[in-house]
Amino acid sequence: MKVKKVLKITGITILVLIIALAAAPFLFKGKIVAMVKETINENVNAKVDFADVDVSFFRNFPKASIVLQDVKVINNAPFENDTLFYGKEVAVTTAIGELFKGPNEAIHIYSFTIDNAKLNITVDEDGNANYDIAKPSETPTAENASETSDFKFKIDNYHVYNTDIQYYDAKSKTSLIIHKLQHEGFGDFSLEKSELDTKTDALVSFGIDGMKYINKQQVALDALIGMDLTTNTYTFLENNALINQLPLKFDGFVKVNADSQEIQLTLQTPSSDFKNFLAVIPEAYAKNITDVKTAGNFEVSGEIKGISNAERIPNIDIKVVSTNASFKYPDLPKSVENININAQLKNTTGKVADTYLDINNLAFKIDEDSFRGNGILSQLMTNPKVDATIVGKLNLGNISKAYPIELNKELSGILDANLTTSFDMAAIENQKYDRIKNNGNLKITDFLFSSKDVVNPLAISEASIDFVPGRITLKKFDATSGKSDFNATGTIENLLGFLFNEGKLKGNFNVNSNEFHVNDFMVASTAGSKNQNSEVKKGEALKIPAFLDCNINVNSQKVFYDNIELTNVKGNLALDNGEAILNDVTSDLFDGKIKMSGLVSTRNEVPTFAMDLDMNSFDLSKSFNGLELLQSIAPIAKALNGKLNTTISLKGNLSESYTLNLTTISGNAFAELLTTTLKSTNIDFFNTINEKLTFIDLNKISIEDIKTRLSFEDGKVNVKPFSFTYKEIEITIAGSHGFDQSLNYNATFQIPAKYLGTEVTSLLSQIKSEEAKNVTIPVSTKITGNFTSPNFTTDLASATKDLLVKLGKLKAQEALGNINTGNDTVDDILGGLIKGNDTKKDSTVTTPNSTSDKVTSVLGSLLGNRKKKKEAEEKAKREAAAKKQQEKAKDSVN
């Protein structure tokens, strides 16, 4: 019974403790949140916030955990609103009993963890650091000693996971980026002397003024560090560092003083195997080096000693040496031999500007080709300066046969260089070409370049470049690609600025070609294309490179674009800031000549164009079949034979394949047809006209010497009035049609009255006035629908009826004898229908010579759907009306 009672009491006690441990965080959460915020506000000159606080007695039992989520530290001026720190989770551990202390008692922190954080450290040009956010502390006194902080650190371990640190010094333009940092340390910071066991792994990048000296190098360090907290001295006791796969050993110490650090470190590779050289190259490029056969040595050694403070850095002397080394990958056919490296990174004064890298010798050999160079890179931390010499010959095709580099392109050819150069980065940035000294030459022969970005391989039979101070001359450049051939000469400017500082590549070139096929340089855009490099994604439009600022004079015997052949192409092409600008480019085309000026721009997401075209004596049939633009502007042009003169001014958008987006086009044109005939056979539009207007045979129309003006807007072609004559009928047309083939035209036929049926001819025979016999009637026709199915409506019936009434009145006036006696004149009665009365025409419209052939059955053709019965009734009414007029006239005479 007693045992059961003891177990029962014990169980209840444990249950109470568990409930207390679970409930306590909720009871103390408010106190902890207030304490954290109060402590931060008292000690930090920044805006600090966090989304939530979690207090747990189980996470690190038997210790208590305080977890801050989504912690942000936002700077005040002079870095106002910049984020200094963001942490997804910041956790600290302390003894459970620490949470029960009084309000004036400090809480001891034993460990902390930071996870998924970003730290952005910036120093501006005035030396202000954004991490300097601690408020000045008061001088401790007996009264405030216990109030200086609510937290006391008694760290025995800490952890930093998945953290990125970015450092940038605006004055020296130095950047250091630590990516994916994993770091932890174990030690007792409460002791005056102890040991800290650390493990670190990260990717490190380092650069100055935009130039990257180290890019995402894998760095790992396992180090046992002796800590003397009384003197702030940290000594490397045991360590094992890896830079990529290169092992390094450190010895020495770092002592932290109030305003400086005293550094005394030595470093060296633990072995001299040349495999160490391959190990320093990132694994993505060097691949697996386990089975690589090597000979010779590779050693890194040196020391860093001295004081580091705001004015100076420690002295540096690090040497990299290799003598007569070689390596061969087991699955590659060639080896790299006679490798010699002698380089030294040094600073003897402690001044940042005096740091330099001296490459006394860098040489290697593949097969019979040898390459060597030397140089000095000085002023590394301020204004990097390069003095270098490169001499040697290299077969580019052997590179991938001796080293496991994965090329996305085929590369071969012989590179022969003899070049010395001297420049500083400030000269490149500011284009101070007098400080850039280049001497020597560079020659490439039998060069072959192939990539998914080009349709056909580029084969350069020979290219030769001469370097002299202030100028780079392209002496020779002979190349082919697909069916195209071209050669070039010219000058190049800012080559180093382009290579080192992302500046523009400038040049002036003369390019000649016998045959240039544009499709040889266009990326395949459809599946199943026969082009060998068709991997570019569909919809991925090519861009005109924004880094090019070139002026090119072009002279090509033949240029082929799809099914168009241009001959004797001459002109100027300028490439600048993502635009291609054509200046007075001329060519023979379609038995005529064309002149082009304008531009194509890919600066924005949607490519645009603006172009002026001057076409002279174009063969209409050939140009229609070859030019999609002409097919859209004048679909009926395929029925025309003859010559065309036209000037066209257009602008609009281009599609991803650089074809015209017709709905965006605006502009105008002037067109002149020369010695032109119409062949309407097999053209639906003209077949419909011939069928519905049987009095017109379009194949007998002469439309030579017609001139008209057009404009383009909102997907439509607007045509100003133009006229031509079919036999004795003058026809004037104006209106518009859409690029969607829709029609909206008005045609006016000036039809002589004598062709309008027996009623009209009968009246005319009874009228004495010769003027009346030349009267014409304007008949309006509306053409709508589309080119394949046009619709016609006309006012011929009403116009003819009105004419009959006026002729009857004229006849009656003649019978009364007062046709020209002060009453109604012929003009008054006929209302200006007599041909030639003050008819105004567009100055650009010319009317061709007319013929005297008579048109028969005009009325019957236009009104072919009128029943004979109705025609007879109308005729009887008109005759009766005329008879009444005659009788009234006789009565008035009598």
Predicted local confidence at residue 58, as pLDDT: 52
CA nearest to 714, candidates 669, 670, 666: 666
Residue 127's pLDDT band, with cuts at 50, 70 and 90, is confident
Q: How many of the other CB atoms lie within 10 Å of CB of 45?
A: 13
Q: What's the chain's average pLDDT? A: 77
How many angstroms separate the CA atoms of 702 and 729, rounded? 12
CA nearest to 744, candidates 714, 781, 769: 781
Once rounded to an integer, what is the mean pLDDT over residues 56-68?
Answer: 69
Predicted local confidence at residue 724, as pLDDT: 81
Q: Determine if the peptide bond prior to 607 is cis (ω within 30°).
A: no
Q: Which residues contact 387 (CB under 8 A, 6 or more apart)?
A: 375, 376, 378, 421, 422
Q: Which residues contact 764 (CB under 8 A, 6 or more apart)?
A: 753, 754, 772, 773, 807
Q: Which of 15-19, 160-164, 409-413 has the highest mean pLDDT?
A: 160-164
Of 321 and 830, which is predicted with more confidence? 321
Residue 390's pLDDT band, with cuts at 50, 70 and 90, is very high
Q: Which residues contact 509 (CB under 8 A, 6 or more apart)?
A: 474, 488, 489, 490, 550, 551, 552, 553
Percent of the chain residues past pLDDT 90, beyond the cut: 21
Residue 407's pLDDT band, with cuts at 50, 70 and 90, is low
Once rounded to an integer, what is the mean pLDDT over residues 103-126?
Answer: 82
Pair 627, 589: CB distance under 8 Å: no
CA 637 to chain centre: 38
Give the strand pairing for 592-601 and 789-794.
Answer: unpaired
Give counts: helices (H), strands (E), the chain.
15, 38
Give strand pairing partners of 766. Answer: none
How many angstroms separate the CA atoms of 601 and 486, rounded? 24
Asked whether the predicted pLDDT for residue 337 surpasses 80, the reply is yes
Helix-strand-coil percent breakdown of the chain, rounded to 5? 20, 50, 30
Lowest model confidence (mean pLDDT) among 415-429, 515-529, 648-662, 802-816: 515-529
How many angstroms separate the CA atoms of 10 and 6, rounded? 6
Helix (H) or strand (E) holding 278, with range, is: helix 275-280
3-state secondary structure of 276: helix
Predicted local confidence at residue 821, as pLDDT: 41
Residue 822's pLDDT band, with cuts at 50, 70 and 90, is very low
Asked whether the predicted pLDDT for residue 181 surpasses 80, the reply is yes
Predicted local confidence at residue 303, as pLDDT: 94
Predicted local confidence at residue 817, as pLDDT: 67
Structure tokens at 345: 């990174």
Residue 190's pLDDT band, with cuts at 50, 70 and 90, is confident
Asked whether the predicted pLDDT for residue 330 surpasses 80, the reply is yes
Predicted local confidence at residue 828, as pLDDT: 65
Which sequence spans correspond to the domains of the chain?
25-132+149-171, 244-406, 726-856+874-894
E strand spans, 96-150: 107-123
Pair 88, 55: CB distance under 8 Å: no
Residue 107's pLDDT band, with cuts at 50, 70 and 90, is low
Pair 490, 474: CB distance under 8 Å: yes
Q: How many of the other CB atoms lie within 10 Å of CB of 6?
A: 10
Of 524 and 505, which is predicted with more confidence? 505
- Give the type of residue at 151: F
Residue with tokens 């007098």: 434
Predicted local confidence at residue 358, as pLDDT: 95
Asked whether the predicted pLDDT for residue 410 surpasses 70, the reply is no
How many angstroms separate the CA atoms of 3 and 15, rounded? 18
Predicted local confidence at residue 602, as pLDDT: 85
Helix (H) or strand (E) holding 128, with range, is: none
Structure tokens at 148: 């200086």
3-state secondary structure of 172: coil
Structure tokens at 500: 């080192």
Residue 578's pLDDT band, with cuts at 50, 70 and 90, is confident
Determine the Cα angle at 753 with ends 747 and 755, to 5°: 85
Asked whether the predicted pLDDT for residue 555 surpasses 90, the reply is yes
SS (H, E, C) 391-456: EEEEEHHHHHHHCCCCCCEEEEEEEEEEEEEEEEHHHHHCCCHHHCEEEEEEEEEEEEEEECCCCC
Q: Which residues contact 337 (CB under 8 A, 6 or more apart)?
A: 326, 364, 365, 366
3-state secondary structure of 289: coil
In this prediction the pTM is 0.59
Predicted local confidence at residue 693, as pLDDT: 65
Lowest model confidence (mean pLDDT) among 27-31, 145-149, 517-521, 862-866: 862-866
Asked whether the predicted pLDDT for residue 266 surpasses 90, the reply is yes
Angle between helices 796-816 and 868-893 in degrees, nearest 10 = 20
Asked whether the predicted pLDDT for residue 262 surpasses 70, the reply is yes
CA nearest to 134, candidates 40, 49, 50: 40
Q: What is the pLDDT of residues 301-312, one digit of tens each?
A: 999 999 988 788
Predicted local confidence at residue 308, as pLDDT: 87
Residue 343's pLDDT band, with cuts at 50, 70 and 90, is very high
Asked whether the predicted pLDDT for residue 228 surpasses 70, the reply is yes
Determine the Cα angle at 45 with ends 44 and 46, to 5°: 95
Structure tokens at 201: 């792994």
Once rounded to an integer, what is the mean pLDDT over residues 34-60?
Answer: 73
Angle between helices 758-765 and 796-816 in degrees, nearest 10 = 20
Pair 448, 411: CB distance under 8 Å: yes
Pair 710, 633: CB distance under 8 Å: yes
Q: What is the pLDDT of residues 202-217, one digit of tens each?
A: 998 887 767 676 778 8
- Residue 101, sorted as left (phi over 0), alpha (psi -120 to 50) or beta, turns out to be beta
Residue with tokens 């030397």: 374
Q: What is the pLDDT of residues 834-848, one digit of tens each?
A: 554 444 444 333 333
Predicted local confidence at residue 832, as pLDDT: 57
Residue 819's pLDDT band, with cuts at 50, 70 and 90, is low
State the burial class of residue 463 (Cβ atoms within 10 Å of its Cβ: 0-12, 13-18, 19+): buried
Structure tokens at 60: 């690190």
Residue 9's pLDDT band, with cuts at 50, 70 and 90, is very low
How many angstroms separate the CA atoms of 852 and 752, rounded? 12
- The DSSP line for 28-71 is HHHHHHHHHHHHHHHHBSEEEE-SEEEEEEEEETTEEEEEEEEE
Q: What is the pLDDT of residues 350-383, one digit of tens each?
A: 888 898 999 999 999 998 889 899 999 998 777 8
CA nearest to 544, candidates 597, 495, 581: 581
Structure tokens at 183: 């770091």
Residue 489's pLDDT band, with cuts at 50, 70 and 90, is very high
How many angstroms separate the CA atoms of 167 and 176, rounded? 5
Predicted local confidence at residue 192, as pLDDT: 84
Predicted local confidence at residue 60, as pLDDT: 60
How many angstroms separate the CA atoms of 364 and 94, rounded? 60
Pair 356, 394: CB distance under 8 Å: no
Asked whether the predicted pLDDT for residue 849 surpasses 50, the reply is no
Q: How many of the other CB atoms lie within 10 Å of CB of 643?
A: 20
Of 176 and 836, which is predicted with more confidence? 176
Once rounded to an integer, what is the mean pLDDT over residues 338-350?
Answer: 93
Asked whether the predicted pLDDT for residue 756 surpasses 70, the reply is yes
